Amino acid sequence: MCGIVGAVAQRDVLPILLEGLKRLEYRGYDSAGLAILDRDGKLQRTRVLGKVAELSAATAAEPPVGGTGIAHTRWATHGRPSVDNAHPHVCREQIALVHNGIIENHESMRETLRGEGYEFGSQTDTEVVVNRVHAHRASGRDLLAAVSATVAELDGAYAIGVIDTDEPDRLVAARRGSPLVVGVGIGEHFIASDVFALLPVTRQFIYLEDGDIVDIQRDRLTIYDHTGQVVERPVMTSELAADAVDKAGYRHYMLKEIFSQPVAVADTLTGRIEHGQVLDTAFGMAASDIFSRIEHVHIVACGTSYHAGLVASYWIEALAGLTCRVEIASEYRYRAHVVPENTLFVALSQSGETADTLAALSLARALEYSACLAICNNPESSLTRESDLVFLTRAGPEIGVASTKAFTTQLVALLLLTIALGRRNRIDSELERRLVAELETLPGHINTALQLNDAIGQVAEEFSHKHHALYLGRGTMLPVAMEGALKLKEISYIHAEAYAAGELKHGPLALVDEDMPVIAVAPNNSLLEKLKSNLQEVRARGGVLYLFADSSAGVPAEDAVRVLNLARVPETIAPIVYTIPLQLFAYHIAVIKGADVDQPRNLAKSVTVE
Ligand code: G6P
C-alpha cells in the first residue's frame, strides 16, 4: 500500500526522502514521487511511473535543494498507475499533499470544487483533498487550520502530509484509519508510514492515534487530537537496528526470511514457556483469568494469516476441545453474528494494520465476546493498541510481500494459545509437557527442512513452465496446501488452487492431465493412506505429482512422481514444518521465471485500505 515520508529539517531532505521511500518499497507500489520546497520557496515536484530507483535517477541531474519535503510510493486504488495519478498532488503551485487511504466522498467533493473553479489533473480520490486544503487556505486559514477543516470533511481513511509554499518550514500531517508515525529528531522532525523508513535518521517515534493532526516545524511539534485539543503522545525508542531491513547477503528478502524461521520461531518461544508449561502471561496479565472461562474461539484474519487461523482451528477443537470458527475479516465485518457466551475473539495479523481485520476487531468489540486477543508481529500497531490481550510474534520485520516467517510464528503463537486454553479442559500436564517439548524441537525440524533447498530448486526448474497447479492436503495439511498455493500465485503468477484431497473426485479431477500438476503434502499421519488413494486417482489420469512426504510414507518416485522427502515430524507441529518446502518451492519457481519476488505485481504488504 502507499508509503509516505516527510521531513522538516535544516539540511537538504532529498536523500532522507529517497532513502525513506526505498525502505517502504516492501509495502508494494507502482509509482513514486516527491515534492521539496526549494531555497527560493518554490515547489519542486518529481514523479515517475515505476521504482524509487527511477525517481532517484530523475532527480539526479538537478537535485531539488530544500529542508521541507514530502514523498510517496503509490499503490493504485482510484485511477490506473500513471505519472499524473502519482503523488504528491499539487494545487496551484502552492500546496503539495501525499495520501495513503481512500476518500469515500471524493466524488461529491470534486463536484463542489469544480463549481468553485478548481481543476483536476488526475483520476485519484486524493486530488480533492489538496484542492480543499487550498480552498481553506484561500479563505484566510493558516495551513494547520486549513488541514483541520479539510479532514473534518472527509469520509474514509487517510494518512496525509501537506506542505505549503507560503509556510515553508512547516509540515502538517493527519491520520485516521491509515498508519502514520512521527520521527522525532534534534532540530528536525519527520513523518512516515512506518518506523523502518526513518531508522537512518532517528530512533525516537510518536505513534499518532486515529483523528490526530500534527503540526511539525523544525524545532517544535504539536499534536491535536480529534477534538482539536493539544495532546501529549509518548515518545518511544525503537529497538530495531537500521540494518534490520537489509538482505544479509541473500538474493531476496523472501529467501532471507524463509531461512530465518528457526530463529524467528525460537525467539517467539523464548520467555513464553517454562518447565514444560505455557505461560499465560505471554498473552497479557489478564489472560489467566479470561482463559479460564473460554469455551469457544472465533478467529478472524486475511490472506496468509487466515490460513494460520485455519490450522489453529484443527488444534483448538482436537487438542483443547473447544469449538473454533475461523473467518476472513472482510466477510466477518459485514454480517450479523451470534456470539455464544464465553467466546474469545482472536484477530490475527502480521502487520496489525490490515483495514479489514481492524474493522472486524472494532465490530467484535461491540459484540458480547469475553475478550479480544491480537496475535501480531508489530508491537506498535493499531491492532495491538485496540485489543484486551496481545501476543507478539517475534518474527522481526518481514519485508517480502509474500508472508513466510510471520506465518510460521503465528502458528507457534496459536499452538501456545491452544495449550493455554486446553489446560482447563482436555490438555493435562503430561500432554502439555509433550506439546511444549515438541514446540522446542521446531527450530531443529525447520533447519532440517531447509536443507531441501537445493533439491527443491532442481524440481522447480521443470515446474516453472506450468500455468496451473492443484495443491492437495487433508486435515491440518489442507490449510498448509492453501498457503502453498497462495505463495505460488503471489510470487510466480502461476494459477494455483488448493483442495481437500477428498474433494478431488467432486470436480477438480476433471482438470487433471499432464499439464495440470498436482502438489500434495503427505506427512506420515493417520490420513496418509487416504491421501495415497487420492494420489492414485491423479496418477491414473496421467497427472504429474509433486509430493512433499515423510520419508517413511512409502511413496516411490517414478516417472511422473517427484518425491521430496522430509524427516519424521510429530503430527501436531507438522503443519509448521511442511510449510517450509512449499515456501521454497514457490520461491525457486518465481526466481526461475524472473518475477519480482519481494514486490510481486499488484500486491501490497500491508493492505491498509478496504
Ligand atoms: C496482504 C499481504 C499478505 C498478508 C495479508 C494479511 O495481502 O500481502 O502477505 O497475509 O495482507 O496481512 P496481515 O498483516 O493482516 O497479516
Residue with cell 509448521: 576
Single out the catalytic residue among 22, 256, 405, 605. 605
pTM check: above 0.85:
no
Pairwise CA distance, residues 563 & 552, whole Å: 12
Mean pLDDT over each residue of the chain, to the nearest integer:
93
Q: Which pLDDT band holds residue 559 (cuts at 50, 70, 90)?
A: low
Half-sphere exposure of residue 472: CA atoms within 13 angstroms, side-chain side: 31
Q: Comparing 72-76, 499-503, 536-540, which segment has the lowest mean pLDDT?
A: 536-540
User: Residues 337, 338, 340, 341: is their CA dihedral positive or negative?
Assistant: positive
Q: What is the CA radius of gyration of the chain?
A: 25
Q: How confident is the model at residue 379 (pLDDT cuts 50, 70, 90)?
A: confident
3-state SS string over 341-381? CCEEEEEEECCCCCHHHHHHHHHHHCCCCCEEEEEECCCCC
Least Cα distance to 316 among 459, 432, 420, 165 occurs for 420
Q: Residue 10 and residue 61: Cα distance in Å, rounded?
A: 22
Percent of the chain with pLDDT over 90: 79
Q: Which of 2, 302, 324, 376 is catalytic?
A: 2
Backbone phi, psi, residue 58, to 5°: -70, -25
Question: Under 8 Å CB-to-CB from 156, ≥6 apart: which residues?
Answer: 101, 102, 103, 104, 105, 106, 125, 177
Residue nearest (by alpha carbon) to ligand 1 atom 5:
303
At 138, is the secondary structure helix, strand, or coil?
A: helix
Which of 39-43, 74-78, 310-314: highest mean pLDDT?
Answer: 310-314
Confidence of residue 428 (pLDDT cuts 50, 70, 90): very high
Q: Are 252 and 400 in contact (CB under 8 A)?
A: yes
- Give the pLDDT of residue 421: 97
d(CA 359, CA 585): 34
Please measure the distance between the N-terminal and C-terminal CA atoms of the chain and give it in whole angstroms: 11
2 is catalytic: yes
Q: What is the mean pLDDT of residues 53-64?
A: 95
Could you give the C-alpha distances from 361 to 211, 298, 346, 369, in angstroms and in order? 18, 11, 9, 11
- The closest of 331, 329, 328 to 358, measured between CA atoms, is 329
Predicted pLDDT of residue 239: 76
Contact 162, 125 (CB under 8 A): no
Tell whether the model's pLDDT for residue 553 goes beyond 80: no
Peptide bond into 88 cis (omega under 30): yes
CB of 235 closer than 8 Å to CB of 214? no
pLDDT for the residue 242 = 65
249 vs 347, higher pLDDT: 347
- DSSP codes joined into one string, 386-454: T-SEEEE-------SSS-SHHHHHHHHHHHHHHHHHHTTTT--HHHHHHHHHHHHHHHHHHHHHHTTHH
Burial readout 248-279 (b: 16 or more C-beta within 10 A, e: otherwise): eeeebbbbbbbbbbbbbbbbbbeebbeeeebe
Dump pLDDT digits (tens) for 131-140. Answer: 999 999 999 9
Residues within 6 Å of ligand 1 by CB: 302-305, 349-351, 354, 357, 401-403, 603, 605-607
Mind spelling out the 3-state secondary structure of 531-546? HHHHHHHHHHCCCCEE
How far is the centre of ligand 1, averaged over its atoms, from the C-alpha of 573 (Å)?
23
- Round to whole Å and give the CA distance between 67 and 606: 30
Pocket test for ligand 1, best of 403, 408, 599 (most atoms within 8 A of CB): 403
pLDDT tens digits for 281-331? 999 999 999 999 999 999 999 999 999 999 999 999 999 999 999 999 999
Rounded distance between C-alpha atoms, residue 367 and residue 387, angstroms: 13
Q: Which helix (H) or strand (E) holds 485?
A: helix 477-492
Query: How do residues 451-462 score in pLDDT, each as one tens digit?
Result: 999 999 999 998
Task: Write down the pLDDT at residue 1.
Answer: 77
pLDDT higher at 541 or 146: 146
What is the reported pLDDT for 525? 73
Show the beta-strand stretches assigned E in 77-185.
Answer: 89-91, 95-103, 156-164, 170-176, 181-184
Whether residue 91 lies in the annotated active site: no
CB-hemisphere CA count at 13 Å for 365? 15
Q: Are 191 and 173 spatial neighbours (Cβ–Cβ below 8 Å)?
A: yes
Closest ligand 1 atom to 406 CA:
16
Q: Which of 607, 608, 609, 610 to mutate to test the pocket of ligand 1 (most atoms within 8 A of CB)?
A: 607
> Quick check: 371 and 285 in contact, CB under 8 A?
no
Q: In 10 A of CB 141, how many CB atoms?
A: 16
What is the DSSP secondary-structure string of 250-271? Answer: -SSHHHHHHHTHHHHHHHHHTT
Residues 6+ apart with CB under 8 A from 6: 17, 69, 70, 71, 98, 161, 163, 171, 173, 190, 191, 192, 216
Provide the CA 558 distance to its chain's centre, in angstroms.
Answer: 40
221 pairs with which residues across the strands?
Answer: 216
CA distance 240 to 349: 20
Position 523 confidence tier, pLDDT thresholds 50, 70, 90: confident
| Residue in 253, 305, 380, 489 to alter for ligand 1 test, most ligand atoms within 8 A of Cβ | 305
Q: Write out the H or E segment, with its range, that includes residue 3.
A: strand 3-8
According to the model, what pLDDT value does residue 492 have? 96
Q: Report which ligand 1 atom has the smallest distance to the Cα of 301.
A: 15
Residue 316's pLDDT is 98
- Confidence check: pLDDT of 2 > 80: yes
3-state secondary structure of 155: coil
Cell representation of residue 394: 517475534
Name 21's Cβ contacts closer than 8 Å, sequence gap at least 6.
3, 5, 32, 34, 52, 55, 71, 72, 73, 197
Q: Is the pLDDT of residue 586 over 90?
A: yes
Residue 380 has pLDDT above 80, yes or no: no
Q: What is the DSSP letter of 73?
A: E
Q: How far apart are CA 133 and CA 131, in angstroms?
A: 5
Rounded distance between C-alpha atoms, residue 78 and residue 120, angstroms? 14
Ligand 1, atom 8: closest residue by C-alpha: 605
Per-residue confidence (pLDDT) for residue 425, from 0 to 100: 84
Helices and strands in the chain, H and E counts = 18, 27
**Mean local confidence (pLDDT), 39-64:** 95
Cα-based torsion angle of the residue sequence 298, 302, 303, 306 in order, rounded to the nearest 10 degrees: -10
